[in-house]
């Protein structure tokens, strides 16, 4: 299994960010092949306030399924929308090992 993690930085306007985040989340959830999703609100870090406000994790069967999802029309629409409101987000691909 692989996952796409999106780390959203702390916004300057939290109310505007939350509205756009929810719109983008609806687009992200349309990606084909999602097995599981986790939408997280960041509470902080051991050092205090985190530079991130939210984390979204989308799980796929394998890297090829993730790649197909991102290249799909739904993936392109979600990615384009993400870059319009959260350009400084970090995207990470990771292989997941679970017992």
Helix (H) or strand (E) holding 2: strand 2-9
Evaluate the CA torsion angle 45, 83, 36, 60 in order and state its sign: negative
Burial of 60 (0-12, 13-18, 19+ CB in 10 A): buried
CATH number of the domain at 78, please.
3.30.70.100
Domain span at 88: 2-95
How sure is the predictor about 99, in pLDDT bands with cuts at 50, 70 and 90?
confident
pTM: 0.93
How sure is the predictor about 82, in pLDDT bands with cuts at 50, 70 and 90?
very high
Total of domains in the chain? 1
| pLDDT tens figures, 47-76 | 899 999 999 999 999 999 999 999 999 999
């Amino acid at each position: 299994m692989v996952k796409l993690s999106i780390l959203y930085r702390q916004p300057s306007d939290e109310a505007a960010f939350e509205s756009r985040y929810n719109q983008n989340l609806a687009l992200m959830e349309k990606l084909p092949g999602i097995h599981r999703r986790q939408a997280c609100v960041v509470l902080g870090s051991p050092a205090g306030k985190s530079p991130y406000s939210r984390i979204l994790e989308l799980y796929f069967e394998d890297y090829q399924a993730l790649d197909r999802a991102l290249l799909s029309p739904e993936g392109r629409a979600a990615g384009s929308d993400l870059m319009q409101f959260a350009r400084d987000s970090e995207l990470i691909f990771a292989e997941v090992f679970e017992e």
